[in-house]
Amino acid sequence: MDSTTTAGLWDRLAGSQPGPSLWTVVVTGLLALAAVSPPRVWRVTRNAVTIAHEGGHALVALLSGRTLSGIRLHSDTSGLTVSRGRPSGPGMVLTAAAGYPAPSLLGLAGAWALATGHVTALLWGATALLAAMLVMIRNAWGVLTVVVSGGAFALVSWLAGAELRAAFAYGVVWFLLLGGVRPAFELQRKRRHGRAPDSDADQLARLTGVAPALWLLLFHLVSLVCLVAGGRWLLGV
């Protein structure tokens, strides 16, 4: 690869691109809302939120010094991330707490990137994260969902025009912000009916002595704050 090509790739990655029209931003937000609201649609699209959820566990496990053993994604949209290390302490607490906030925090980071015009950087960054996650996937369904997701990002970032790239990026970020709100409410409902005795909130309660309801409240607060702040960035208000 010659220096001209390298410089062009770097400019494309690091440079800023003009954002789409407000109409496009609003439409992509409505499409994302349609992808997370109907129960039948959500049963499919929730797989993407699970990828972000388990990716959050995995990333924080590594950052906190734990050894990541593997990630499993299941067709019922559940997932499992296994890491080795101390069974208690700050690293374990942070790892257990990272899953539910991860989609919303990723959405917030994506909203900031789009607000500053870094559409291509966001798409390439997401592709790189999915590629890194793929190495740790330990089941066929997980490999399929991550490969399909990463392939979509790669194809759009390389082949689509500027308008389509921007619309795709905004749709993904809206989806993470909106989709990040729903899982904590689902967990709350499951716990009310005694169907999630080993949820992240319950594990955190055993690790810290803080009631599961307070951890759920934290999950709700993070997701809603990210939605409001990220939405303002996307809409430019």
Q: For 93, how many CA atoms within 13 A lie in the half-sphere containing its CB?
A: 10
**For 20-41, what is each residue's pLDDT tens digit?**
889 999 999 999 999 999 999 9
**For 147-190, what is each residue's pLDDT tens digit?**
999 999 999 988 888 899 999 999 999 999 999 999 999 999 99
Q: How confident is the model at residue 62 (pLDDT cuts 50, 70, 90)?
A: very high
Q: For 116, how many CA atoms within 13 A lie in the half-sphere containing its CB?
A: 10
* Dihedral of the alpha carbons of 23, 25, 26, 29, in degrees to the nearest 10: 150
Q: What is the model's pTM?
A: 0.92
Q: Other CB atoms closer than 10 Å to residue 225's CB: what's the count? A: 13
Q: For residues 187 and 213, is the Cβ–Cβ distance under 8 A?
A: no
**For 92-146, what is each residue's pLDDT tens digit?**
999 999 999 999 999 999 999 999 999 999 999 999 999 999 999 999 999 999 9
The SS3 call for residue 75 is coil
